[in-house]
Amino acid sequence: MASVIIVGTQWGDEGKGKIVDYLAENCEYVVRSQGGSNAGHTVVVDNVKYKLRLLPSGILHKNKVCVIGNGVVIEPKIFLSEIDSLIEKKVNISNLRISDRAHVLMPYHKILDELQEEDLGENKLGTTKNGIGPCYMDKASRLGIRIVDLMNKEVFTKKLKFNVELKNKLLKKLYNHDGVNYDEILKEYLGYADRLRAYVADTTTILNKAIKEKKNILFEGAQATMLDLDHGTYPFVTSSYPAAGGACTGSGVGPRKIDNVIGVVKAYSTRVGEGPFPSELFDDVGQFIRDKGGEYGTVTGRARRCGWLDACVVKYASYVNGLDSIAITRLDILDELDKLKICVAYKYNGEVLDGYPADLDILSKVEPVYEEFEGWKTSTRDIREYDKLPENAKKYLKRLSEVIDTEISIVSVGAGRDETIIVKNIF
């Protein structure tokens, strides 16, 4: 039996969906514990591409219990659209469970998200405008509507009325917006409630019973460490806790019941939205990586900022998450490069920094200290054993492991489920 947390170690888009999909074969349960529909995972199975936003990647395996935990904020329209899309593709979703404690994302959350971002002007955060932040704001303010509330018509009606009145005051007085229609939202969401009801459960009890029964459980992270509300490059972060600790609070499973934490590391760096990015590339190499890697957002289609692999970020993520090992993804994207670099330290005012700076003014001015590597100039796509990787590729990976003081357990050399090298067994 093992309970394993998968976390992103950079700014997201590391390929967590691929790693979760691969490891789910050996699990009975797959859990999504935080975030919302702003978190896109792309998984390729039998040459079919699946773009998931709320559903755990394990849904693409038969007979896996897939859980959406209490830490997730759920937009019913998108959730049901995902379900319908999978049903069309003959994917079995009968084992899907939603926590009754998860919060519901409402139409006014999306409107507020867009208006607040516009109001920030030059100080904008680069939000996806999916309403995630305002929904978590309501949760923290104890004004939120949970799935369990949506299941109770009387409770939902009362809570919705209060929220609509409150939000309309804000929309009209602060933003000169017409506000939202209570009756329309009530009708729409009661319709969603009827369809959601079959999936709602006390998932905390389900998961803890599964652990007691010695089942293998995989906790699937959304976003990544550098977007964590506490530990990321604040304020250019998400509104939840993508670090390993968030998997515990977002699922109702205590930290002492976790056996293994795996950090997913893209073989280069990318970032979406605003905020400092020390190893960012603005040249032809950066554009090559973007085009070769298809570095455009799953949800938004936005071009991702690309750069050299930043080991300072990954080392910090190893501290924060207590990583047992790392899974390297997208190594194949670098196959054609003549030279590669890894950022192994930051210099500020001529001195090497110890740790990862919280001060974004400092972070925006640091000088990356690079180590250069010879490229391997050959395809890695068909390699399935670590020892058979090109020597220069192994040197590149070994140096990353040394800098972050964390061993490598998986290397991914393509998007397909089979394009995976297992260095160390997880289950």
CB 283 within 8 A of CB 370: no
Region 357-376 average pLDDT: 97
Split at pLDDT 50, 70, 90, the class of 403 is very high
228 catalytically annotated? no
Which two tokens mark 110? 């999306």
Please tell me which residue in 21, 41, 109, 228 is annotated as part of the active site. 41
Top pLDDT among 93 and 156 is at 156
- Is residue 332 annotated as part of the catalytic site, yes or no? no
Across residues 80-85, what is the average pLDDT?
93
204 by Cβ neighbours in 10 Å (0-12 / 13-18 / 19+) ranks as middle
Q: What is the pLDDT of residue 276?
A: 95
Q: Model confidence at 46, in pLDDT bands (50, 70, 90)?
A: confident
Q: Reply yes or no on whether the pLDDT at 72 is more than 90.
A: yes
Task: Find the mean pLDDT for residues 213-224.
Answer: 94
Q: How far apart are CA 61 and CA 76, in angstroms?
A: 23
Confidence (pTM): 0.94
For the cut 90, the answer to whether the pLDDT of residue 120 exceeds it is no
Q: What is the pLDDT of residues 246-296, one digit of tens each?
A: 999 999 999 999 999 999 999 999 998 889 999 999 999 999 999 999 998
Q: Which residue has the higher pLDDT, 127 or 275?
A: 275
Strand locations in 337-379 (E): 339-348, 351-352, 367-374
Q: Give tens-digit pLDDT for 162-175.
A: 999 999 999 999 99
Residue 368 to residues 128, 237, 311: CA-CA distances in angstroms?
A: 29, 22, 10
Q: Considering the chain, what percentage of its residues have pLDDT values greater than 90? A: 83
User: For the residues of 244-313, what is the DSSP string, one character each?
Assistant: HHHHHHTTT--GGG--EEEEEEESSEEE-SSS--TTB--SHHHHHHHHHHT-B-TTT-PBPEEE-EEHHH
pLDDT top residue among 426 and 363:
363
pLDDT band at residue 48 under the 50/70/90 scheme: confident
Percent of the chain, pLDDT > 70?
Answer: 99
Could you report the per-residue pLDDT of 131-141, keeping only the tens digit for each?
Answer: 999 999 999 99
Average pLDDT, the chain: 94
pLDDT at residue 298, rounded to an integer: 65
| Rounded mean pLDDT, 23-45 | 87
Residue 299: pLDDT above 70?
A: no
What integer pLDDT is reported at residue 268 of this predicted model?
Answer: 98
